[in-house]
Structure 1
Amino acid sequence: MANVSSLGVGSGLPLDTLLTNLRNSENTALVAIQTQQSGVQSRISAYGQLKNTVTTLQGTIAALSGSSTYGALKTSVSTSAFTASATNQAIPGQYSIQVDTLATAQTLIGAGQASQTAANGTGGQVTITLADGSSKVLDMTGKDTSLNGLVSAINSDSTLGVQATLINDGSGTPYHLLLTAAKTGTDASVTSISVSPDNTALQSVVGFGGSSPALTATAATNASLHINGIAISSQNNQVTDAIQGVTLNLNTTTTAPSNLSITSDNSAVSAAVNAFVTAYNSLQTTLQSLTAFDTTAKTSSALTGDSVARSIQNQVRNVMNVVSTTGTVRTLSQLGISTNKDGTLAIDSTKLAAAVNSNPDDVKNLLSGTNGVAQTLTTVTNNILGTNGLLSTATDSANSISSDLQKQYDDTSARIDAVMANYQTQFTNLDTMVAQMNSVSSYLTQQLSSLSISQSSTKK
């Protein structure tokens, strides 16, 4: 029997080429499935793009419906001595403000000590009482009572109302304990510090109040200012309750009144409208790109003819049909928003500003009122993005189709492998059989040739 080491070698037949051609023919079924898979994956990716752009559009709802967008106010000051901010609870107007004093925190400083590491007695309960009547206890039992240990213990407890540090004056007894009230103003000042049970050494370092305090105080001050001639006092330099809806941050004192102006600020409304239009246009542009058909090349896009894409486009366009039931400004076109031929929007900034300035209540009702733009947009985007919304349902369906196609591909691939294995066996058998036949044929040919030569020799 011939030894066949490679398909077709024994027989001389082009069996390898024939087997390759058969494989290519069978693989056309796999190519068709892969083409379908590619189309489904493109559709899933396109749905993801739509989800992102619709989510961005949905993100503009907060500003369109937010109460802080409407009736916003802005402040202007004529000095650097203070800054001001206003909520929509403030009342527009002009104010004259003079800062007389700034709020400061009380400081307590001890006499110089020779060592910062030497213990000051053992243990003790340090009670710190503030001017507002509150008291806190620092338990030094089993703790380091040196100046270093005391500073560490105080700063580890933010509820005590004081902060501690050491000052080194470079003398023979250089270390001074410095306590600073955690807040400015007289209410946050320390009125007494006592140590119990008896630890006279620690008392001599931190004791305050009574006839012989160990600490010397620099008193706290409250901020004081005049607003339109009315005297105001504040425990800190952030004054929040002197003018309704206005916060003043005091920086320095002044010798003469400075002006604070509070006026309407409609920029928030314009910004909200512009953000909505930008997001709307981004969605329309994305939809146009994903559903386009190239008539010259005769090629489709990922969502050409897709019903989900058409539905999203139609639903979002319905937002432009919102009509307010009251007021002068009742439609988006009256707000300066128009639709271009390609479905995107354009804004007439001058018309928008005029509408916002002249009819702020109408604009607010159109954008954020019942059945207004924000509410309609909420309904539309929820229908698109919700758990059972258009995109979720479409994506789930496409993923299911993709899974089915993968199973179909795997099954078809397995079938082709089985068929090709059968072909391989048949071709191997054929190659072996033809090789044997060729061997026999060669043998017979040789024998006949030998016989012919022998007969010729006999005749001679």
Structure 2
Amino acid sequence: MATSPLSSLGVGSGLPLDTLLDGLRKAENAPLAALQNRATKEQQRFTAYGTLQSGLDAVSAAAANLGKSQTYNAVKTSVTGDSFTASSKAGSGAIAGNYAISVGNLATAQVLSSEGTASRTAKLASGSGLVDITFTLGNGDTRTVSIDAGKSSLEDIVKAINADSELGVSATLMNDGSETPHRLMISADETGTESRVTSISLAAGQGASGIDLSGLESVLSYDANDAEAGGMKQIVAAENAQVTINGISVASQSNTIENAIEGVTLTLAKKTADGAAPDALRITRDDSVATSAVNNFVSAYNALQSTIRALTAYDVDAQQGAALSGDSLARRAQTQLRDAINGLAVDGMTLSSLGIKTDPTTGNLSVDNDKLNEALANNRADIEQLFAGEGGLSKRVTAAVEVFTKSDGLIKASQDGITRTLKLLETQYDQMEARIDQKMETYRTQFVQLDSFMAQMNSVSSYLTQQLSMLANLNNSDKK
């Protein structure tokens, strides 16, 4: 008796075999869910350690800034007048003082101009090959640019000069509206006499043949020592800046003068009017740099405390801990940083005496800036020693942090351990999933066999029922 293949599990038997198989799959998958949950928690721990390291790095950076001498020896500049501005960078070595400054001359850049020509596109040289244009500068340097004789118009010269940033000069064209309006203008890129052009010479270059440079020389040649020579003429002379500082004359190639006053940069704006009094520069101590450094450290330290509290918190109502709840590493970092700032003293000066106090409840620091500024005004050297000296806060804090954050430190070791655990969990997950898949396939095979057998049994049952019914009908007919 032939049977047709089953198109869906359970059709032959009438049993909910698909539902039963799904239930078995869910039951078998329970250990996979446990592995996934554990992997998720390990990943959260890994991320939390990264957050902890960022907080520790911020504290270390702020502490390192407190360890710099320039933090306690900063100065600020103020200028009375408008002939110059002044600035001083941290660590530049500037010293407090007063200066009377007159600007006698501003530095200028040289400008050369050619005679006018009728066309800006006509060739100025004949022949073939290259033409070498050599510029000699006031400092003795020579720079050469080459053009093709077939491309020797004013436009071609401008393009060639401006394409070479090493020449030290720039070129442009000017139209004066006359019958020969086109003038070549060459400007020194820098101010001062050392950057000026002292000569421009032309010569046949590589591959030159039948070269005639007379037309090009009539426009471009220049000799500072021969005012009557043809070619370029100087229309703006290069000049050096000249200032007088407390009666001492200072010359500069640029309008930006560095270290004429140690650690100070002067930027000249205009010449002091004839007969006018010098403008004044005042350099004074700037304790705000140290105050800001202290406040930045306190902010970074308090932010770290908040981070550690959040990472190690436990929600009693939800009965759920944060990523590092119960983890000793975060608490250890917190303890070691507290130890690093406790007990600091230099000649009786402590953090508390500077207005820096610890909240006994939260562990956060606070700063009384008025008290700190008063201490800086009266005892800056001792404060520098407290923060930046050997055994001071800066070295103690950075050393404490380094144990955790260095490349082979405690945080890296913990993260490496988590990485190994995650790889192991991944392997376990894959192996368990493969076993479950194999078991489910076995279940499916058995269910298919069961379904087929039940279908056959149902078919036999139907056949027998039919035959018995037919016999009963025959018996009833015979009795009649």
Task: State the TM-score, normalized to the length of structure 2.
Answer: 0.86
Residue 319 (structure 1) shift: 2.6
User: Is 1:204 equivalent to 2:221 in the alignment?
Assistant: no
- Among all aligned residue pairs of Structure 1 and Structure 2, give the percentage whose two residues are the same amino acid: 45
Q: How far off is 1:137 after superposition? A: 4.1
CA distance in 2, matches of 1:16, 1:200: 101
Q: Provide the C-alpha distance between the structure 2 equivalents of 1:452 and 1:196, rounded to a whole number of angstroms.
A: 131
Contact 2:105–2:243 at 8 Å: present in 1 too?
yes
| Other-structure match for 2:283 | 262
Q: What's 1:92 paired with?
A: 96
Shift of 1:191: 3.2
User: Are 1:216 and 2:233 matched, yes or no?
Assistant: yes
Indicate conservation of the 8 Å contact 1:166/1:176, yes or no.
Answer: yes
Bigger Cα displacement from structure 2, 120-129 vs 375-384: 120-129
Native 8 Å contact 1:328 1:359 kept in 2: no
Residue among 351, 354, 359 paired with 1:335: 354
Quote the Cα distance in structure 2 between the aligned partners of 1:130 and 1:35: 74
CA distance in 2, matches of 1:134, 1:439: 109
Counterpart for residue 423 of structure 1:
443
CA distance in 2, matches of 1:415, 1:441: 39
Matched letter for residue 238 of structure 1: T
Is 1:102 the counterpart of 2:106? The answer is yes
Q: Which amino acid aligns with 2:155?
A: N
Matched, 1:114 2:131: no
Which residue matches 2:66?
Answer: 64
Tell me which residue corresponds to 1:232: 250
Q: CA deviation at 1:84?
A: 0.3
The answer to which of 261-270 and 12-21 deviates more is 12-21
With over 3 angstroms needed to count, the CA separation of the structure-2 counterparts of 1:308 and 1:51, relative to structure 1, is same
- The alpha-carbon distance between structure 1 residues 110 and 434, as it changes in their structure 2 partners (threshold 3 A), is closer
Q: CA deviation at 1:451?
A: 3.8
After superposition, the Cα gap between the structure-2 partners of 1:442 and 1:166, relative to the gap in structure 1 and judged at 3 Å, is: closer
| 1:125–1:139 CA contact under 8 A, matched in 2 | yes
**Closer, same or farther in 2 for the Cα pair 1:441/1:181, shift >3 Å?**
closer
Q: What's the offset of the Cα at 1:459?
A: 4.8
What is the CA-CA distance between 1:282 and the residue it aligns to? 1.8
* Residue 450 of structure 1, CA deviation: 4.1
Query: Could you say which residue in structure 2 is the equivalent of 1:319?
Result: 340
Q: Which residue of 1 aligns with 2:207?
A: none
Query: Deviation at 1:75?
Result: 0.3
8 Å contact from structure 2 (residues 135, 197) kept in 1: yes
Cα 1:267–1:453 shift into 2, 3 Å: same
Over 3 Å counting, the alpha-carbon distance change for 1:344 and 1:143 in structure 2 is: farther
| Superposition map of 1:13-52 within 5 A | 13-52=15-54
Structure 1 position 82, deviation (Å): 0.8
Q: Give the letter for the 2:229 counterpart.
A: P
Deviation at 1:184, TM superposition (A): 1.9
SS in structure 1 at match of 2:52:
helix
- 1:262 offset after TM fit, Å? 0.5
Query: 1:378: how far off?
Result: 2.4
Taking a change above 3 Å as real, the CA distance of residues 142 and 24 of structure 1, as seen in their structure-2 partners, is same
5+ residue gaps, structure 2: 205-211
112-121 or 344-353: which moved more?
Answer: 112-121
Cα distance between partner residues in 2 of 1:17 and 1:200: 101
Q: CA deviation at 1:170?
A: 0.6
After the TM superposition, which residues 403-422 of structure 1 pair with which residues of structure 2 at under 5 Å, given as runs? 403-422=423-442
- Distance 1:375-1:18 versus aligned 2 partners, 3 A rule: same
- What is the distance in 2 between the residues matched to 1:15 and 1:135? 94
* Equivalent runs, 1:349-428 vs 2, <5 Å: 349-428=369-448
Q: Which sits farther off after the overlay, 62-71 or 394-403?
A: 62-71
CA contact (8 A) 1:280 1:345 kept: yes
Aligned CA distance change for structure 1 residues 273 and 459 (closer, same or farther; 3 Å): same
CA distance in 1, matches of 2:321, 2:110: 76
- Partner amino acid for 1:231? S
Partners of 2:17 and 2:163 lie apart in 1 by: 87
Tell me, in whole angstroms, the C-alpha distance in 1 between the residues paired with 2:202 and 2:458: 118
Conservation of the 8 A alpha-carbon contact between 1:195 and 1:207: no
* Cα distance between partner residues in 1 of 2:242 and 2:30: 88
Q: Does 1:290 align with 2:311?
A: yes
| Gap change, CA 1:142 and 1:61, over 3 Å in 2 | farther
TM-score (norm 1): 0.90
Q: Could you tell me how far apart the structure 2 residues matched to 1:322 and 1:166 are?
A: 73
Native 8 Å contact 1:125 1:137 kept in 2? yes
Contact preservation (8 Å) 2:82, 2:279: no
CA distance in structure 2 between the partners assigned to 1:136 and 1:9 by the alignment: 94
> Do the aligned residues in 1 keep the contact of 2:340 with 2:396 (CA within 8 Å)?
yes
Unaligned regions of 5+ residues in structure 1, if any?
Answer: none
State how far apart, in whole Å, the 2-side matches of 1:220 and 1:175 are. Answer: 24
What is the alpha-carbon distance in structure 2 between the residues aligned to residue 139 and residue 459 of structure 1? 132
Cα distance in 2 for residues equivalent to 1:133 and 1:453: 133
Cα gap change, 1:441 to 1:263, in 2 (>3 Å): same
Deviates more, 1:404-413 or 1:136-145: 136-145
Q: Structure 2: which amino acid aligns with 1:36?
A: R
- Which stretch has the larger CA shift, 39-48 or 180-189? 180-189
Counterpart residue type for residue 356 of structure 1: L
* Native 8 Å contact 1:185 1:223 kept in 2: yes
Selected match of 2:185 from 159, 174, 178: 178
User: Does the 8 Å CA contact 2:64/2:395 hold for their aligned counterparts?
Assistant: no
Aligned CA distance change for structure 1 residues 165 and 423 (closer, same or farther; 3 Å): closer
Aligned residue pairs total: 458
In the aligned structure 1, how far is the partner of 2:10 from the partner of 2:125?
A: 104
Distance 1:302 1:439 in 2: 61
- Runs of 4+ that moved beyond 6 A: none
